[in-house]
Amino acid sequence: MLYLASYYGSPTADESLGYRIKASIGDAITRFITRGRFSHCELVTPLDNGNYLCYSSSIRDKGVRKKEIHLRPDAWVLAPVSNYSAYDPSLHNLEKLEDYYLQYKDYEYDFLGAVGIILGTTQRNHKLFCSEFVAGFLGLQEPWRYHPNLLAALLRKD
């Protein structure tokens, strides 16, 4: 099963104080600008050990990556990708996600693109931010226009 994981938490105590301060400020700015609860998103699939295999573009990891992460329930909300109204299982499966990841794995994190959501800038070559990566996989037009809160709204079922 494939999920959108939306982050609303705060950095953990095991991370450096400097990182925690920068990450908290960045998260707060993202949430304020996008007028929502979330500051980051990932495409994830559960692993047998309770962790998740996560695909995204991360400022912390300097770009597109896949990584095993323990998603704390007090920091993440999961929504099945199948909730997306244009869901097509032939397009949105784990094999396709791996292919999509391999296509973009060398792309750097697009900080200016993420900021561009409010500034109105367009796609930058060979760079992606988290929600742009996810929106692109979902096949959304102009994926650079999407932020984590907008994607969460698209996949939410009330």
Q: State which H helix or E strand residue 66 sits in.
A: strand 63-69
**Amino acid (one-letter) located at 46:** P
Better-scored residue on pLDDT, 99 or 27: 99
Does the CA dihedral 83-114-40-9 come out positive or negative? negative
Question: Can you give the pLDDT at residue 45?
Answer: 97
Question: Can you give the pLDDT at residue 122?
Answer: 62
Percent of the chain with pLDDT over 70: 92
pLDDT surpassing 70 at residue 107: yes
What ranges in the chain are assigned the alpha helix state H? 17-33, 94-104, 111-119, 130-138, 148-155
Strand duo 127-128 + 52-58: pairing: unpaired
Structure tokens at 155: 């996949």
130 burial class (0-12, 13-18, 19+ CB within 10 angstroms)?
buried
Better-scored residue on pLDDT, 111 or 65: 65
Give every CB contact of residue 47 below 8 A, 6+ residues apart in sequence.
53, 68
